[in-house]
Amino acid sequence: MQSLFNSLDLQFVLGSLIKIAIFWIFIMLVVAYMVYAERRVLAVIQNRLGPNRVGWQGLLQPFADLIKFIFKEDLVPLAVNKALYMMAPVIVLVPAMMVLIVYPFGPEVPLPFGGVLSQLINDLTARVGLNWNVDLRTINLYITNFNVGLLYVFAMTSLGVYGIVIGGWASNSKYSLLGGLRSSAQMISYELAMSLSVVAVLIQIGTLDLNEIARGQGDWFGLRWNIFGGPTLAMLPSALIAFVIYLISAIAETNRVPFDLPEAETELVAGFHTEYSSLKFALFFMAEYVNMTTVSVLATTLFLGGWQGPFVEQFPWLGIVYFLAKVFFFLFLYIWLRGTLPRFRYDQLMNFGWKILLPVALFNIVLASVLGVLFL
Amino acid sequence: MEIVHILFLAFAALAVVAAFNVILQRNPIYSAIGLIVVLCSLAVLFLTLYAPFIAAMQVIVYAGAIMVLFVFVIMLLNIREEESKTDRQKYLKFLAAPLFLALLGMIAAVVKTVGNPAPRGTDQLGSVQTLAEGMFTKYVLPFEATSVLILMAIVGSMLLARREKAEDVERIEQALAASQEGAEATEKEEVAA
């Protein structure tokens, strides 16, 4: 028993749990205020005010919404498949949240009072007979360093489809079923283009580790981003094409306007979550926003240099500022598109995915490989 | 006992339980979900055996793509629970028992020859680089042959799905021509009006 408590495993598990808790709370706040921001920005676009009553400028609105979600009556329609109906929101949210552990928030940063803190922990554990040797003077701003981090993200996002399909089917309603089927078809189609588009960037940078990908874009005063071709400017064309394909298919992958066919109100009421109410609906809603954050984080890390930017070398804490600024830019883009674009028709969506995006993505891999062989 | 071993045993047990779930459930949806759980726990087993790339691929390809199609088809055809409980293949069960025993014997033999059931690899062993090097140098011929095989399957399924009989084609063309004429006629009417 002594050896188990002394082992590095336990320290690793405890440290990771603390980090997970902090990042989780942070992401939940981002999600909550993303909903608020969406309502306010859409209101500005549509020339009205939006929620501005709860707290200063409506800033407490997310908490009011949350309380409302919790206290609403949790209706379970009579004809649903109960077990699957209950499971579906969880199946959507859990993989979406699991991606969190590979977000590269920033570089290795010095922790204020880190020396004192580690001394304190070491003393305290020594008093109960353990000999830990914790060093918290610098910490990494990611939860884990996974050498196939990118593939892990793709794996988890591909599992999220099940929740939507199962939720749509278990609801036993025609709108839900159609929404679920549409959604799964759409996500399978656009997932292909999305994963193929990032290959061009992987050729430039040569690793699947998200932290390494961010670290590799630090030259040129922190501006040598992959979208500019990464190690060589000659790769610029393939990088730009990859970025455009990624952006389009990421929006389709998260079921957002103009690709929000699975929840097209005019034809499907609310799509796969028509029959859901109360907290179960909130879980679906949360998962959608977490997924938006995930694809924004990927876009930032893969194409826009992650946490890199001017002066990050000197002031490492700046990294997380740059990172969040870039992620929020993409999140704003989502809202902006929702305020300005109409919805695709279903056959247009499928044709666009399979007949345009996929061939272009495949061609782009060839282009990137040729450029890579010639110039890298 | 390290955490890795605990993880391995836990997910191995989960895989076995879920595998039983696949064959014992009467509702095809539950079976499919069981199979997804099996595939995901196999991915965790690959992780504990230091093969992260294979683990990720396991989830992306099997759990994320192939099983989605399974679930998709089950829902699209709206297959309900198996209704008939009569055993149509009643002679097969006499074959099943000896085959099951033979399988157990085989597993026992394999376990006996392998000293340590959870071999310790290194991070390098299952990495993308090692795998790619093997695939594109030493095993390039089997790799390409497999690709061609899969391509043949795709082309074959396309051929089967899109086979149109000559008279069908004629009928469709006639219908198309008729609808076009109709559209032109209504256009003319509109113009006239």
pLDDT in tens, A72-128: 887 888 877 888 888 888 888 998 888 888 888 888 888 888 888 888 888 888 887
pLDDT for position A157: 86
Partner-chain residue, chosen from B3, B53, B55, that has the shortest CB–CB distance to A9: B3
pLDDT for position A216: 81
Mean pLDDT of B144-159: 91
Q: Which residue has the tokens 């683990």?
A: B55
Q: Domains for chain B: give ranges and CATH numbers.
A: 1-83+91-117 (1.20.120.1200)
pLDDT for position B15: 93
- Residues of chain A with pLDDT > 90: what percent? 6
3-state secondary structure A121-167: HHHHHHHCCCCCCCCCCEEECCCCCCCCHHHHHHHHHHHHHHHHHHH
Q: What is the mean pLDDT of chain A?
A: 84
Partner-chain residue, chosen from A151, A154, A169, that has the shortest CB–CB distance to B75: A169
Is A154 at the interface with chain B, CB within 8 A?
Answer: yes
Helix residue ranges, H only, chain A:
2-6, 8-45, 61-71, 82-98, 114-127, 149-170, 174-197, 199-205, 210-215, 219-222, 236-253, 265-268, 278-303, 318-340, 346-351, 358-375
Chain B residue with minimal CA distance to A181? B72
Mean pLDDT of A326-354: 87
Take residue A80 and report the two structure tokens written for it.
Answer: 């649903």
Chain B residue with minimal CA distance to A208? B128
Is B63 at the interface with chain A, CB within 8 A?
Answer: yes
Is B2 at the interface with chain A, CB within 8 A?
Answer: yes
Chain B positions touching A188 (Cβ under 8 A) are 65, 68-69
pLDDT exceeds cutoff 70 at B95: yes
Q: Picking from B4-8, B71-75, B120-124, which range would have the lowest pLDDT averaged per residue? A: B120-124
pLDDT for position B169: 72
Is A184 at the interface with chain B, CB within 8 A?
Answer: yes
Mean pLDDT of B119-141: 76
Q: Which one-letter DSSP state was computed for residue B66?
A: I
pLDDT for position A143: 82
pLDDT exceeds cutoff 60 at B83: no
Residue bearing the bigger pLDDT, A33 or B26: A33
Q: Picking from A103-112, A177-186, A270-279, B66-75, which range would have the lowest pLDDT averaged per residue? A: A270-279
Q: Could B64 and A155 be called an inter-chain contact, meaning their C-beta atoms sit closer than 8 Å?
A: yes
Mutate to test the interface with B, among A80, A82, A147, A354 (most CBs of B within 10 A): A147
The predicted complex's ipTM stands at 0.81
Partner-chain residue, chosen from B56, B71, B128, that has the shortest CB–CB distance to A162: B71
Nearest to A307 by CA among A106, A23, A139, A103: A106
Take residue A346 and report the two structure tokens written for it.
Answer: 């279903």
**Strand A108-110 relative to strand A138-140, pairing:** antiparallel
Is B54 at the interface with chain A, CB within 8 A?
Answer: no
Q: Which residue has the tokens 């042959």?
A: B145
pLDDT exceeds cutoff 80 at B127: no
Angstrom distances, CA of residue B113 to CA of A158, A316, B49, B109: 38, 53, 19, 6
Mean pLDDT of A274-303: 87
Q: Picking from A194-198, A367-371, B63-67, which range would have the lowest pLDDT averaged per residue? A: B63-67
pLDDT for position B116: 61
Is B1 at the interface with chain A, CB within 8 A?
Answer: yes
pTM of full prediction above 0.95 = no
Take residue B20 and report the two structure tokens written for it.
Answer: 């039983």
Which burial class, exposed, middle or buried, applies to A60 when counting CB atoms under 10 A from its CB (0-12, 13-18, 19+)? middle
Peptide bond into A258 cis (omega under 30): yes
Cβ contacts from A onto B, under 8 A:
75
Q: Picking from A14-23, A167-176, B124-133, which range would have the lowest pLDDT averaged per residue? A: B124-133
Is B45 at the interface with chain A, CB within 8 A?
Answer: no
pLDDT for position A360: 92
Mutate to test the interface with A, among B31, B71, B136 (most CBs of A within 10 A): B71
pLDDT tier at A1, thresholds 50, 70, 90: very low
HSE-CB for A295 with a 13 A CA cutoff: 29
Q: Picking from A43-47, A259-263, A322-326, which range would have the lowest pLDDT averaged per residue? A: A259-263
